[in-house]
Each structure stands twice: as structure tokens, then as C-alpha cells.
Structure 1
Amino acid sequence: MSQFLQFLVTNVTSFLLQPSVLTILAFIFILLFKWYSILPNGNTKKNSPPSPPKLPIIGNLHQLGLQPHRSLQTLAQRHGPLMLLHFGSVPVLVVSSADAAQEIMKTRDLNFADRPKSGISEKLLYNYKDVASAPYGEYWRQMKSILVLHLLSNKRVQSFCSVRKEETFLMIDKIKESCSSSSVNLSEIFAKLTNDVVCRVALGKKYGEGEGRKKFKELLGEFAELLGAINVGDYIPSLAWLNRANGFDAKAEKVAKQLDDFLEGVIEEHINCQKKGDHDRGFTFSQENEDQKDFVDILLWIQEENVIGFPVDRDSIKALILDAFAAGTDTTYTVLEWTMTELIRHPEMMKKVQNEVREIAGNKKDITEDDLDKMHYLKAIIKETLRLHPPIPLLVPRKSIQDAKIHGYDIAAGTQVIINVWTIGKDPTLWDEPEEFQPESFLTSSIDFKGHDFQLIPFGAGRRGCPGISFAITTIELVMANLVRNFEWTLPDGAIGKDLDMTESTGLTIHRKFPLMAIATPYFG
């Protein structure tokens, strides 16, 4: 028996000491250690937010659907206003309440000021050299200071008053010319207006007129579409090859190249005008005449004079210009489209705002920006539109820099954070009859959309809040005031408001799926 035991011990020991066996045992030991560490009596237990069941590899990606803001609202109703999903291997915290949003964007704003990496932003936005997608850090701070101080300050916004006025009056004239024969496509009119305003403000003139207009418009549409697409490679790296197989990467590279060629041409045109001393065009760089220049002028001046003490290269200039188009065209046009949609659906509210605007305008043919401060009901209508139809229902994702605790839940560093402002705007604990369009509620409320009231944050808040709020809202108010002042509005073919199709589009910016067609009758009162 002793010989048998000696034989057994010798052979078992020899077996256990084999490298492959030792590797397997070590792996089992690590698994057991990790399992023990998450047991109730372990020292590193995490209190994670509630999570719906997930599938292997893709996690919860299959639950997003074609309209993620609605799908995430449904999930939040089951799992709570703080919910942890997994997009592939990436943890994603979905925030669906105002108090949790305030915790993220105000109380712990610094910890959630970073952006996750995105293959699309890397391709289209010059390797994250814009403000919206740049990682949190010194570069981002310097670029944002350029936007806030030199491009989107109140002084600069006011300096573009004549551009907004001219383009708005051109829009009114165009509607008057076409309304006598047929209905007008307001969606198309709004898209052209916002594009023309941003082109003149950012680039100095309208681009894409005539034969090239359609191509330029389509290019900007593809740009916005790509920015709103889900890149599977960002969440499941092993499936990144799908983007090459289905042509997604090729399309992104093509659009990036076409945009780069266009912006290079714009910058070279500005530089050549400067060299020629085109003073009529205003290309002499100086602090004194800064408010007479477009975005490209200012950016070239900052680069040449090293105004901020921080190098600004050509790619940074192009990335900031693209930020202006991404934030200033599609979102503004979307708010205009939904505002007119709601007014046509509610003729009694249309009549009320028309009376307000026409009374303030008096005998004046056109509304100017000096009149807007008195139009309280118009401002309430725009706020209510932003509540029901935020142009970007899911704010651009943030990323946690360090571990944090939010409302008692442990949030790991590197977690992406999506704030569902569409759901917050329909929270029945915050709003009476939240599905109804009721602008009157804002007439007696101090709630605003500038990032201080987290019940209404269509432009975000905190460090990552949109710096272009003033520019966008001034344009929206001026356009809407002139539309309701100059025309009576009805639907084609005798349709009434309740017949209006309210189906939403898909993508980053949510506008109408079908164009808004309406009949405009000039008002001569």
C-alpha cells in the first residue's frame, strides 16, 4: 500500500507540475478569486444600476431600435431613470430624470466632461480636433474659448443681425412668390434658410448656389447622417470588418475627403483675398474690426497672430467650421419645422401668437430683432417645442473620467453616459399632461433652456453644453415671428391639424419624416 501511495503521489505531482495544467489551475484560481470578490461579504462589491438582460457579444444593442430615444424610454420605465446597458463590451449609463442629469452635468460635471472615442468623429472631424468631440483637456479648453469669445459671444451674435434679417426677408419674399400657385415645402425652405445663414456667417458667402447647390446640400446631409450612425466597430471591435464589407467606411472616407477639399478651397480663397488686400471684403486682421468678419476670417487671424497663445493649425480651423455647420444648420431647421408643425396643428395657438406679433409690429411690414423681447407667447411656444421635440433627443455621449457614485450607484471610470432629454421633457412628475402641446405653461414659469433648469435641457448643460444657444434661438425667433406676421397658414386639400402626420425621422437629429407642406395666404393687415 505504501508503494502504491508513493506511486500515486509521484504521478499526481508530476501531472500537476505540467505547464498546461498549472495554467489551467491558475485560471481557475483567478476565476474563484474574482467570484469571491463580488460576493456580499467581499470587500469590493459594486452597487451597479439596474440592467435589462443582454445578449452575448452585442449586449443591449439590439434593444435600441430605429428610434433609440423611444426605445430607451420604454426600458427606463421598467428599470428606472438610471439604467446600465452594454453596447457590445462598452458600459453605457442611460439617464432619464432631471435630478440625475443635474448630478451628471452640474454636481459632477468635471468627472463626466470627457467624450468617448468614435471612429466616425475621427474620420470626419479631423481626429477629434473640433469642440464637440474633442477629449476633455487643454486642447478642448482652448478651442472652446475660441468659439465662446470670438465666434459665438453675444457681441458676435448681434453683429450677424443683418445676415439673419436679409435671409429671413428673402425667405418671406420667396414664399409670397410661390404661395399663389401651390402649397410651399416649409421643410425645404427652412433647410435652405439655415444653411444660407450659417454659410454667410461662417464662410463669408453662400455656397452651393445654382448647379452645385444640390451636391453641397447632399454632402452636408451625408455628413449629418454619418455623425448620427452607430459604428459597430466602436462597441464590438471584432466586428469592425463589417463597416468595410458594407461600404460604411468607404462612404465616411469619401465624405471626409469631399468636405476637406471644399474647406481647403474656402480657406485658400480667404487667404488669397487677404494677400490681395481686399479691404472691401474686410480681410485686414485687427481686434477693432473683428465683428465685421466671418468665422474663417477670425480663425485665420487667431492663427496668424497667435491670439490665444496656443497653436491653431489648418485642421483645427476646418474642424471648428464643421462644428458650426453640424450645430447651426440641421438643429435650427428642425426646431423651425416642429414649431410650425405644432402651430398648424393648433390653430387657436397660431391665432394667439399672430395677434401678439402683429400688435407689436404695428404698421411695420417686417419684424426685426428689436421687437422680439416683447413677444412672450412666441418665446413660450418655442420653449414648448423644445420640450416636446428636442432636436437631438439623446445628447452626445459623455464619458466618466474616474469612478463615481450617482444616486447611490457605482459608476466605473470609462462608462459612457447618454442623457435622454426627450424622456425628461415628457416626465409626468415634472410636467402636467406631458404629451400635450401647452405653451401657456411657460408664461407663468421661469424655466428656461440655457442649462440651469434640468427639466428642459435640449442644448445640454455644464462644460459640454452647446455654446451656440443664443445664435440658434435668435434665428428661430426672428424667422417664426415673420412667418406668423406675414401669412395665414392652412394645410393642403382642406386637411385639418389633427390630420397632420407627426412621424419622426431617424438619426442624430430628429425632424419630420415627411416634409411639412402648407398653404400660405399673405396677410395685408
Structure 2
Amino acid sequence: MSPSSTIAIFLVFLTCLWFLIKSLITSSSSKLPPGPWSLPIIGHLHMLGNLPHRSLQDLAKKYGPIMSLRLGSIPTIVVSSPKAAKLFLKTHDANFASRPRYQASEYMYYGSKGMGLAEYGPYWRHTRKLCTLQLLCPSKVEAFAPLRREEIGLLLQALKKAGEEGQVVDLSEMIYEMNEDITYRMVLGCKRDDRFDLKGIIHETVLALAAFNLADVLPSLGAIDIQGITRRFKRNSKKIDQLLETIIQDHEQARAAKNTRSTTTGQQGHYHEEADFVDVLLSLINKPLNPNDHNEKVPLILDRENVKAILLDMIIAAYETSATTVVWTLAELLRQPRVMKNLQQELESVIGKDRMVDEFTDMRKLAYLNMVVNESMRLHPIAPLLFPHESINDTTVDGYNIPKKSRIIVNVWSIGRDPTAWSENAEEFYPERFMNSNVDLLGHDFQLIPFGSGRRACPGLQLGLITVRLVVAHLVHCFDWELPTGLQPQDLDMSEKFSISMMKANHLLAKPTYRLHM
């Protein structure tokens, strides 16, 4: 017998042995949720494909809304219905409120010290509270209104000029640049700074976080770095640290300069006189995060790495999520001229054509706008699989055993297209489905949870919603839009690119025509 034949027989033997052992394990733990047969070593990794949210939807149609997979060596539960999501994110929320540890967050988030990927516990609770109070609470969202108005105004001016020149604009690029400027000012307290490439660094960080990493599902391979991903993480982590260190040092120097000059001296440099989010974090360095929590024996002290990790969290969260939703919404409006016309009619009725939309007096009156945004987030959720949760203890959900350290994937993309929740036209962009409906985006209605729900729901929900609604309202109110010559609405490419935020694969191009009388 040839060596190759011997190897082939040996591999067949190992495979048969694997399936035998697996069947014995399965019979002894038959209460696990149903799922497909897995392969040795890799489990079900081969079934995910390039668009995992779609692949998992197809699998759930066969195996049910609570499905068991194994991604490498990691037991994984996939949740694909509103009822199942409610069980995991509300009924048993406390047990599924943690996050798995990823190699990317270990390198780029200073040992998972950011808020979004931190394990459930006192540190996460206090950092979430800090970020909410200092950046994301209603009073802060309202305080950022002049900033939003100014940056949106600059976008509208550029579009008006392009329209007068008959140009087709890259609407995606312009919206993302506006959001970049908002992020600089809102989180970092400064204008766009040419000294560092925030856009490039954040883009690489997002790609790295979204990349499939064998070390995360087969930890024994982590030291080998077969894919070269660890080296990629290390390179990018250095760039991140240099960027954040520059930002922090600028703030420290600006504050030191402020303390040495008279109160009558005008503003100097990039940074504002008033304390911004970076200043707030720096003021807390070497101080306990939990000064009033007497139940904790060891105080949580904020250090420089904590500050950098939290800053990176806020930058990434703000950077492209709102812009992505605006692009998807406008793409759907261009595909659906009927919906575009209805929204423009509402805007004309409420506001007229002789002034701009006002954030404080007009937004609450625009019911159809809210329906349009809800429908866009239903079909195109920002994070189609949310961030994975992790079970803290062994537990039972709906009669199934869920082992400790299982990863929980909530397929909100599939839930948003569930015909049992949304009727047979679930694949259609139809904002009127929200008419006379109490379903909202706040995480209480589990058929629509693009921001998640429960303890780990996105704390930036209100900020994100007001930004999306305001930008869409201005763009639709101020302009008529026309697709590039020869492109019909039904032919507009709506393919998607899977990442942390599900972006439109190709940029949205359109020709604006200014329509207001001012």
C-alpha cells in the first residue's frame, strides 16, 4: 500500500472516530439546541460564507430560531426570531450580558479595556455610566445641536454647488466625511486634524475587528499566527496608540496653557476652551471610577490605557454607524420614488420650502420620516449580528441547555425579515407598516432591535437616531435626487459588505437639484 493511500485511510479513520465521539457526546447532551453536523476541528466555520447573516438565516430556516453551532472549538448559539431574542436579551439577560474575549480587542483595546467589548462586571458598568453621562445622555445630545447644524450646513452648501454645476456626486463619500467631522468635534473637541490619518486608522481597525481570525475560534493556533493577523493587530495597535497619545497630549498642553494665561485671552490652537469628553476622561486619571460604590472592596482606578480604550470605543461607535444608515436610507428612497415623494410632501407640509428643518421644533412632527428610518434600520441594521454575547454560567433557555462560555449571536438582520413578525412583504421597503404601530427602535420590541436590547444595548441610540433623522430630513427636504444617466431605480445596486457595520458594497452616486426658495 502506498504512503498516500495509508494517509487517506488514516484520515478517514480519524473522521469516523470524530463523528462517533460527537454522536456519543450529543446523545449525552441532547438538550442542546438543534443544529447541523459539524466537521472535525473547524466545526461549522465552513457554513458561514462571505455574508454570515444570510448563511445563518438559511440554516435557521432548517434548524429553528435557537440553533446550536460550533465555530472551531467555541460552542455558539444563534438566535433568529423575536421570541428567542426576548428570551436571551430580556428573560435571561443577566446571564448573557458578557462579551467573549477577542485577540483584536486584546491588542487594539489595551486588553479589552473599552466599554463595548469589556466583560460584564463592575468595570463595564462604571465605564458605560461614565460614557453615557458625559457624551450620550439627552442633555449632551441636545448640547451638540449647534455642531450638527453647522456640519450639516456645510454638506448642504457643497451639494447645492455641485447641483448648480450639474455634477453627479459621491453621496456616500460626502456623508462619511461629514460624519468624520462631527466625530472629531463631538468626541475629540477639535476640527479635523491633518497631522494624523484618523479615517485610515479607524478603517483599518474596523477591518481588523471584523476579520475572521482562527485564533479566536481555535485558541491553540494563536501563537502560530498562520494568517498573519496578530502581526496586523500589533502594527495597527501602534498607530492607534500614537494617534490617541497625540490627542491626549494636545489636550494636556491646551489645558496647561489655559491655566497660565489670563481669562481674557482668546482661544488658541485646535481645541476648545470648554471641557470636552477627552478632558473629562483625563480629569479622572488615577481616580476611582466608583467612589460612591462601597460594595466593591477594590476601587477601580482609571489609567491612561483605560482612557485610550474608551476613546477608541467612542470614536469607532460614532465614526461610521450613523453615516452607514443614512446611505442605506437614501439608497432605498432612490429605489422607491413613491416613498421619496411621500416624505418630501410631509416635509413641505410641516416646514414649507422657505426655511430649513429645525431640530427642536420640527423633528417630532415628522411621523413619516420616523417610519422611513425605522424601515431602513429593519432591512439594513447597522450591526446585522450585533456584537456576540457570552453566557456567564450554565443555564437552560426554552428547554435547551446553554453551556457556560457559549457565544450568543443574535441575527437581527434575519429577525427584521421574519415574515411571521412582518407579514409576507418583509423583504419590501414599506414604511407604512409602522403606521398606527407601537413598535419602535428602543429595544422593547424584539422584532426590531438594530441597537440591541437589555444591559448591552447600544448607549448611543438617541444620538444615532437624531443624527440619522436630521441628515435624511435635510437631504430630502433641500434636494430632488436623480440617479446617474441610464440607471433606473430598480437597477440600483443594493449589495452589502459584511463588517462591524454592514455598509453598502458600492458607493451611492446621485445628482442633486436644490429645491428650496431660499
The TM-score, its normalising length taken from structure 1, stands at 0.87
What is the one-letter code of the residue matched to 1:509?
S
Find the residue that maps to 1:445 and give its secondary structure. Answer: coil
Where structure 2 has 5 or more consecutive residues not aligned to the other structure, the ranges are 1-19, 292-299
Choose which of 394, 400, 406 in structure 1 pairs with 2:391: 400
Separation in 1, partners of 2:428, 2:105: 36
Separation in 2, partners of 1:417, 1:195: 32
**Contact persistence 1:402–1:414 (CA under 8 A):** yes
Choose which of 268, 274, 277 in structure 1 pairs with 2:249: 268
Choose which of 180, 186, 191 in structure 2 pairs with 1:206: 191
Find the residue that maps to 1:515 and give its secondary structure. Answer: coil
Matches within 5 A, 1:211-360: 215-240=197-222, 244-277=225-258, 293-303=275-285, 308-309=290-291, 310-360=300-350
Which moved further from structure 2: 177-186 or 190-199?
177-186
Separation in 2, partners of 1:35, 1:130: 40
Choose which of 44, 56, 70 in structure 2 pairs with 1:86: 70
Separation in 2, partners of 1:107, 1:522: 50
What is the one-letter code of the residue matched to 2:504?
R
Find the residue that maps to 1:369 and give its secondary structure. Answer: coil
Matches within 5 A, 1:165-180: 165-179=149-163, 180=165
Which moved further from structure 2: 244-253 or 273-282?
273-282
Choose which of 391, 411, 414 in structure 2 pairs with 1:420: 411
Between Structure 1 and Structure 2, how many residues are aligned?
480
**Contact persistence 2:381–2:450 (CA under 8 A):** yes
Alpha carbons of 1:47 and 1:206: their partners in 2 closer, same or farther (altered >3 Å)?
same
Measure how far apart 1:478 and its partner are: 1.0
Separation in 1, partners of 2:218, 2:376: 36
Per-residue deviation, residues 17-41 of structure 1 (Å, max 9, x unmatched) = xxxxxxxxxxxxxxx99999976xx
Measure how far apart 1:494 and its partner are: 3.6
Separation in 2, partners of 1:33, 1:479: 56
What is the one-letter code of the residue matched to 1:204?
G
Find the residue that maps to 1:502 and give its secondary structure. Answer: coil
Separation in 2, partners of 1:450, 1:513: 27
Find the residue that maps to 1:405 and give its secondary structure. Answer: strand
**Contact persistence 1:65–1:71 (CA under 8 A):** yes
Asked whether 1:474 is paired with 2:466, we answer: yes
Which moved further from structure 2: 365-374 or 126-135?
365-374
Matches within 5 A, 1:458-497: 458-497=450-489
Q: Alpha carbon RMSD of aligned pairs, Å?
A: 2.3
Find the residue that maps to 2:216 and give its secondary structure. Answer: helix
**Contact persistence 2:87–2:397 (CA under 8 A):** yes
Separation in 2, partners of 1:301, 1:484: 42
Choose which of 373, 382, 404 in structure 1 pairs with 2:364: 373
What is the one-letter code of the residue matched to 1:89?
S
**Contact persistence 1:302–1:308 (CA under 8 A):** no
Per-residue deviation, residues 260-283 of structure 1 (Å, max 9, x unmatched) = 111111111111111112666699
Measure how far apart 1:524 and its partner are: 3.1
Choose which of 440, 450, 463 in structure 2 pairs with 1:448: 440
Separation in 2, partners of 1:222, 1:89: 27
Task: Choose 1 or 2 for highest CA Rg.
Answer: 1
Find the residue that maps to 2:496 and give its secondary structure. Answer: coil
- Runs of 4+ aligned residues of structure 1 deviating over 3 Å after TM superposition are 32-39, 278-283, 302-308
Separation in 1, partners of 2:22, 2:87: 31
Separation in 2, partners of 1:36, 1:512: 45
Find the residue that maps to 1:276 and give its secondary structure. Answer: helix
Find the residue that maps to 2:497 and give its secondary structure. Answer: coil
Partner residue of 1:499?
491
Asked whether 1:191 is paired with 2:176, we answer: yes
Separation in 1, partners of 2:133, 2:97: 20
What is the one-letter code of the residue matched to 1:356?
E
Asked whether 1:52 is paired with 2:43, we answer: no
What is the one-letter code of the residue matched to 1:195?
E
Measure how far apart 1:206 and its partner are: 2.5
Which moved further from structure 2: 229-238 or 262-271?
229-238
Percentage of identical aligned residues = 39
Per-residue deviation, residues 312-370 of structure 1 (Å, max 9, x unmatched) = 11111111111112211221111001000000001111111111112222354321211
What is the one-letter code of the residue matched to 2:217?
Y
**Contact persistence 2:166–2:511 (CA under 8 A):** no
Partner residue of 2:11?
none
**Contact persistence 1:115–1:136 (CA under 8 A):** yes
**Contact persistence 1:337–1:516 (CA under 8 A):** yes
The TM-score, its normalising length taken from structure 2, stands at 0.88
Per-residue deviation, residues 150-181 of structure 1 (Å, max 9, x unmatched) = 22110111111111110000010111122324
**Contact persistence 1:200–1:294 (CA under 8 A):** no
Find the residue that maps to 1:57 and give its secondary structure. Answer: coil
Where structure 1 has 5 or more consecutive residues not aligned to the other structure, the ranges are 1-31, 284-288
Alpha carbons of 1:67 and 1:363: their partners in 2 closer, same or farther (altered >3 Å)?
closer
